[in-house]
Structure 1
């Protein structure tokens, strides 16, 4: 099998992660900090250590890290916690995932707010900053949601100026780093209220662990409540972060796997390896007849190349690659409902997404290229 669906989840994981998951299941699977015994204390300390390691990627405080089960859960907690009200204006980029769009749509059914798509140039893919600035002046942004890297195209979205304009109107800025955190880390976090990460993607950890950074002291309502292991007679959630937003038993097994994946990431140059392999892929694929590549005019994306081949729907091409060549790619709309109008890819029923990781190599790419050339 040649696995080129790493934008969905990275595979394989580092061997250190597999070993950590097995060790944690056998030796650490206790309720962290909720028992007066050594194993419970050890589990609690490992969770705190993992917070510190995550925070070190972006030079932030460990107590800003809130653990959840998935980026989707993180975004639901944020969207339902920031108090969007009737008449508010919420902005999204054309590249947003349904982990943003569906919770916003669900909330919109209860609260009559305006959902607006930020304008981006379809050739350069750059944001139309003049139009955005004017739009914000007319319709002040309550919240702005931007994916750091598009899960469909690998485009690194330039969010800095957009967030800066939004802050002039006290916008709540949410940066979804599910596709980037750990490998290609964001900067300018003084402009960001909430940063979302996913363990099973660019952090090379397992399913079941993700979270968000609460980077500012703005108010976030509690929308998920339960036990935290302390002050149990108090029916209110604790005020102290991150525990205010972490009800239920923490997934110590997945967290320990994440702890070890972070060590691995910091000991290997993942970003450069992925950039070099993407350049190799693009250099090979751009000369194939009938190929359509979805990228900005003058930039290469990161880790992902979305394509189509004239004469095939996206699912047809992906099925051929799987059945005849044992190549795993993703086809369709990739849980991103807006970007396909931007790309004009609905005529193909979406795109074929080729996404690489550290464990891929040029031989994998060569097999893919040979397969596409044969069609």
Structure 2
């Protein structure tokens, strides 16, 4: 059986994702699709719209055959770390190929870019450091450094979010000496950060979330942009839990932690550096909402995404020492769900997997998966008192979701 891997968040699953899965399976000539999916908190340092279990259902009902959770230590990190963790999982579970969406759509340009920058690594790294010293963010420094290296080769643009992720996927494949074959599909119609609906059937997850939060009702105007299963599950989540998750739900907890902590205590938290702890505490004293807080702490050097990740690590009390101890590759395969063919694949090949497969949390050492457990517990606190308990207990009691 031939498996193609995809690295996803599905926040939420939409028609563009369905197109990607179809193209991935066809271009890889694969029998099934394995998705490495972020858990309850995402790469941009924000809570997922709905829980990982509901997003797993969306994936399985729309073409994915196995869903493996990308651990917190990778899912909430910069692109390079995010990619390394995800690739290590796809390698461990035996994927033949990886297919990712990109603004480029040309895998050869990605391969040339990785090789070109490897051959100019010293100069490239020096340029990044020099640009960071001017006060720009790391993503901006990366883009500027890349632009400064003139080349006549067919290189991919590294100022686009999905191109950047794709570049780091290929770097991770090369670094890990992986045999996985990389493939890419050009993003269709909507850009990653589009906040408005631009076409009749394809929209970005950003614009879909914006529409959902604007209405926060069962009749939200997104039906034409998502499969029926997604629409049904979003309505079901609202009915079961009362509302979707967003940072404002967690602001009171974050504010308490900031005002309760000393600067020395905050400096122990992952990504809290360069004295930003003082800025965080000062802003927390005045800000009434999370958005107001973010506006107060935003600088040219610190992107909104990086600041959200810092806030998330404070919220989950994730220390620098914990992240360092976790390493740069995944230590386990947390199974969230599967279809019939997915179950067949697992039964046939799991003895060959190079990492332990976890289908029951209680059967695994809690210390090794503690970051994921903490994240799920904190995620539940974004709900009201009555619905919170249901989600808190789900982390231990929910077996992998099975879809025939």
Normalised TM-score (structure 1): 0.29
Greater strand proportion:
1
Q: Quick check: which one's helix share is greater?
A: 2
**TM-score normalised per structure 2:** 0.27
